[in-house]
Amino acid sequence: MSAASDHKAHSTRANPNTQGVGAGLRLALCRRRTSHSRALIANCRLSFNELRKEMMTALHGVYIDHQMTTPFAMAQLSAKIKPFATDLARTGVLLLTTCVRVEAYGEESSLRSIDRTMLSGFSYERIEGAVAIARRLAQIASSAHSQILGESYVSHQLANSIELVDPNLPIFQVARFGLDMGRAARERQKFIASFNYDQIVRDIIAHRFQNGEPPDRLYIIGAGMLGRGLIGSGVGERFRSTTVVTRNPKTLRKRLRPYADLEVTLMRPEEIGQEPEPRSFVVIATAEVNQEYEAILRKGLLRLEPRTIVDLSSIPTLSDASAKNLNYVSMYSKEFLRFIEDNNRDLAPKLPLLFSDIEATLRTVQIHLSA
């Protein structure tokens, strides 16, 4: 959630379908000064007219997150529903699935089957209206509702979900507006996690290798956004070498081009543990692990005998029985949860200011929309 670089509030792609919202948002986000020149407002009038039309559209949403059920149950539900994102986007539904939330937004007719099927058996909330949805998505993008307050991954996850939706649909425009508004508020209020994923991993490494003991090899299992973020953060600097374990080396080589200056070797899962490496350290940074893949990883890790395994998957990759002979830290371990608690305790006092910032921006936009 935080190894990737934070985007600025105005960093939207140059797409003609988003320029209306982007230009209108730039006016609203100029530190919300009341001294905007008439010329600037006039230049953005067409953009506001476009945004006004989208904000008047009858949009609805349903959502459930980790505050409404257990984080583990939420992660299981999210993993179950995530594969439907592309198909739902074709019907005009924006589906946001992260390890701690499942949220769907669109016109009411498009959402009818979701609450009856995908969310059956769970208590969930409904939301109605473009303004309410923009507010909710802004709060999510700001990481105010994240399990780790201040993390940045959720805004990238939201951006990726939005990109699946037809840019001509109102929900695309409203969601982009909410995303940019939340990112800007997070930046203004400096609502930044002190313990993001890469920092947590660094601290656990420091704890496991004390008194100047040199670590040997860092293994990163997974090549998705989180894995690449860890590579780019330099978390492997203390190690003799860094190895990324992937089932698709060819695809990963293309994804790692931005990190050409870092020395990274690739390995297939079956190759793990050719011999014991007691001074190695393993980070599991993927949630895409089926039973077959888990069995391969389990056998390889038992052979490897690493100093520690840190599992950043919301659904632990190894069962308690599989990990009993390993030093295994999951996101639900006391050691890991302590980092989250410390971070959230520091940032929680900023939540009222963050929410007020978002509300002030919404009011500014609504004033211009009603002008």
Tokens of 268: 């297939």
pLDDT value at 223 more than 80 = no
Residues 357, 24: Cα–Cα separation, whole Å: 17
Mean of per-residue pLDDT scores for the chain = 82
Find the range with the poorest average confidence among 9-18, 82-91, 133-142, 186-195.
Answer: 9-18
Identify the three-state secondary structure at position 18: coil
Supply the pTM of this predicted model: 0.77
Higher pLDDT, 198 or 278: 278
- pLDDT tens digits for range 318-368: 887 878 889 999 999 999 999 999 999 999 999 999 999 999 999 888 776
Q: What is the DSSP letter of 259?
A: G
Tokens of 178: 């909410």
Q: Which long-range contacts (CB under 8 A, 24 or more apart) does 69-76 make?
A: 69/122, 69/123, 71/99, 71/100, 71/147, 71/314, 71/331, 71/332, 72/314, 72/315, 72/332, 74/99, 74/100, 74/101, 74/102, 74/314, 75/99, 75/100, 75/314, 75/315, 76/315
pLDDT computed for residue 54 by the predictor: 56
pLDDT computed for residue 30 by the predictor: 45
Find the range with the poorest average confidence among 4-13, 18-27, 197-206.
Answer: 4-13
Find the range with the poorest average confidence among 35-44, 171-180, 225-234.
Answer: 35-44
Characterise 79 by phi-psi region: left (phi > 0), alpha (psi -120 to 50), beta (else): alpha
pLDDT value at 200 more than 60 = yes
Query: CA-based diameter of the chain, in Å?
Result: 71
**Rg (the chain; Cα; Å):** 22
- pLDDT tens digits for range 210-221: 988 899 999 999
Tokens of 302: 């038992």
Tokens of 64: 């459930």
Handedness of CA 24, 18, 174, 1 (dihedral sign): negative
pLDDT computed for residue 367 by the predictor: 72
- pLDDT tens digits for range 61-91: 999 999 898 888 898 899 899 999 999 999 9
The number of angstroms, rounded, from the C-alpha of 180 to the middle of its chain's C-alpha atoms is 15
pLDDT computed for residue 111 by the predictor: 87
What is the mean pLDDT of the segment spanning 226-254? Answer: 85
